[in-house]
């Protein structure tokens, strides 16, 4: 069993404390370099080098065209450069991908919005490509108000569960929870995250052995998910942390989706060393383009279960409402 980074309590005194601090400093920089080099290798900082990066760019460009049309004072003529790049990606083969079909449908809606505008020459050939007719892309009208139940009560009803009832987790519940996770916000609608899920006992045990925090209860899990973000979907240096942000939104939405299905959940922290990260990805057959965000254990709920009772900090610790700005 590998150990999670940062879990040991080290002495802060004398020579032992000095070497402990030195090792911690070295491990920190090793992790920084490991993450930075992987992002640098696979993000499309300068040019698109893979179908996955092209798919992400098509979704991002289509989203740019969509949100321009969704503004209160939407004006024709915006997004000409984006539309031309999207058209080029479609013509070069992107139309055959699911992302390309969304992009094509969006481009058609945008072209209709700009009916009275002179469009770049490259747009017309892309509009003539087949497909995308049945996809509701572009913009649509929706109701602006209305509450959907007591979300605060729902959120507070979820606890990290470390006791599970025996029995198989219904596949339909997992699929519905993943569909809920797909509704999470995603930067430029690129939808970079994937839930890799196992419900077979032997496979669960192979996955969870790489994560030290589940040793006392992991044998009871009915399923385990590894949430990843594809580094090929990210573009520039300003997005270097965006995989974790999108991944966190996706993971929490998945967790709430499983909770809504009546399942117990427990996040399994993935704050680990590069060696531990490599070990899990080798076990799962994930290449280095897949950034592991977090693991999530889940299973059937017992009739009665013990959970940690410590309260959350007061609201004032998490909220600064209208704080003064710097002069």
Q: Residue 237 and residue 36: Cα distance in Å, rounded? A: 10
Average pLDDT, the chain: 92
Q: Please state, for a pLDDT cut of 90, what percent of the chain lies above it.
A: 79
Dist CA 110 CA 121 (whole Å): 15
- For residue 233, the Cα-to-chain-centroid distance in whole angstroms is 11
Model pLDDT for residues 205-225, shown as the tens digit of each residue: 999 999 999 999 999 999 999
Q: Is the pLDDT of residue 9 over 70?
A: no
CB 281 within 8 A of CB 290: yes
pLDDT in tens, 271-286: 999 999 999 999 999 9
Domains of the chain: 51-127 (no CATH), 151-300 (3.40.109.10)
C-alpha–C-alpha distance, residues 42 and 287, integer Å: 11
In the chain, the percentage of residues whose pLDDT exceeds 70 is 96
On the question of pLDDT at 143 being above 80, the answer is no
Task: Give pLDDT, residue 199.
Answer: 98
Q: Does the pLDDT of residue 325 top 80, yes or no? A: yes
Specify the pLDDT at position 1. 45
């Amino acid at each position: 069993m590998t150990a999670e980074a940062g879990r040991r309590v080290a002495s802060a005194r004398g020579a032992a404390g000095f070497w402990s601090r030195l090792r911690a400093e070295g491990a920190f920089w090793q992790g920084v370099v490991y993450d930075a080099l992987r992002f640098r290798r696979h993000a499309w900082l300068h040019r698109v080098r893979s179908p996955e990066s092209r798919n992400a760019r098509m979704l991002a460009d289509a989203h740019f065209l969509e949100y321009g049309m969704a503004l209160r004072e939407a004006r024709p003529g915006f997004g000409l450069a984006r539309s031309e790049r999207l058209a080029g990606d479609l013509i070069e083969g992107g139309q055959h991908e699911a992302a390309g079909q969304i992009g094509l449908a969006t481009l058609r809606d945008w072209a209709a919005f700009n009916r009275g505008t002179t469009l770049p020459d490259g747009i017309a050939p892309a509009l003539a490509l087949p497909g995308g007719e049945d996809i509701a892309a572009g913009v649509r009208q929706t109701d602006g108000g209305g509450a959907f139940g007591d979300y605060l009560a729902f959120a507070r009803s979820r606890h990290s569960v470390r006791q599970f009832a025996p029995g198989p987790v219904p596949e339909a519940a997992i699929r519905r929870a993943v569909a809920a996770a797909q509704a999470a916000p995603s930067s430029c609608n690129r939808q970079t995250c994937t839930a890799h899920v196992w419900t077979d006992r032997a496979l669960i045990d192979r996955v969870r052995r790489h994560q030290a925090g589940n040793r006392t209860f992991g044998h009871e899990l009915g399923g385990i998910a590894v949430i990843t973000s594809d580094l090929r979907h990210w573009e520039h240096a300003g997005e270097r942390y965006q995989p974790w942000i999108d991944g966190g939104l996706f993971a929490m939405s998945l967790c709430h989706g499983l909770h809504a299905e009546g399942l117990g959940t427990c996040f399994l922290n993935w704050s680990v060393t590069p060696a531990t990260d490599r070990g899990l990805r080798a076990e799962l057959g994930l290449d280095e383009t897949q950034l592991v965000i977090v693991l999530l254990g889940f299973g059937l709920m017992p009739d009665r279960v013990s959970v940690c009772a410590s309260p959350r900090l007061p609201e004032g610790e998490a909220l600064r409402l209208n704080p003064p700005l710097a002069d």
